[in-house]
Amino acid sequence: MSQATLLITGAANRIGAETCQLFHRSGFNIALHYRNSHEAAQQIADELNAIRAGSVLLLQAELSDTAQVEQLAESTLQHFGRIDVLINNASSFYPTPVDQMTEQQWDELFASNAKAPLFLAKACSPSLKAQQGCIINLIDIYAEQPLSDHPIYCMAKAANRAMVKSLAVELGPEVRVNGIAPGAIMWPEHDMAQSAQQTIIDATALKRSGQAHDIAETALFLASQAGYISGQIINVDGGRTLQC
């Protein structure tokens, strides 16, 4: 019997890389998608394949291209023969103030945060149904409580949040669909002032930032231990949405 397989997008760095490593330690084969970060993705693949030969497949794709999105599922099935878990992790994130935003920004932010996850779920759904598998979308607490100067990103994540609930209905009972909404887990890759970071931390109940492993462990829980959870979004935010 072949091993369970995880297909994860945007997994060369940060939360995606941590999730790959945790699922691999838990016995999964990994189909690791990346966009531009080939060197980082190759390093992860080499390390994990050294532990278990042939257990990681690298897949490069531009998620704004639906044909390439569909090819991710096809290539994973050709290589591993099954898809048990799909994690839609890839995400573009940057400010789009209303007086400066463009249609191109709309297209880019919705492509990675809403369109690609939906069409990848569609492409994976036959195998996910056959394996009684699950989909996990990485959302954001800002899908419900918008972040200033980021209207398009927040709208795209809100669409992703609605997708979780819609697909849970559409793909059940065979496939469970859930989401994870991170809070202050990892700071944006563009500069953020220390004072701004501290303001965010002070708004949490736990008074500290989280780590990538907090998200990875939540994903593994949803994939392997949450057989009666579907259509839910788990906030992993240190209690920030409590507005303490």
Q: What are phi and psi of 101, to 5 degrees?
A: -65, 155
Annotated catalytic residue, options 34, 142, 153, 228: 153
Instruction: Name 83's bridge partners.
Output: none
Q: Is 224 exposed, middle or buried (0-12, 13-18, 19+ CB in 10 A)?
A: middle
**The 3-state secondary structure of 192-218, one letter per residue:** CCHHHHHHHHHCCCCCCCCCHHHHHHH
Whole-number Å distance between alpha carbons of 144 and 24: 32
Please name which of 79, 107, 80, 102 lies closest in space to residue 92, comparing C-alpha atoms: 107
228 is catalytic: no
Q: How far apart are CA 243 and CA 240, in angstroms?
A: 6
Neighbours of 34 (CB within 10 A): 25
- Catalytic annotation, residues: 153
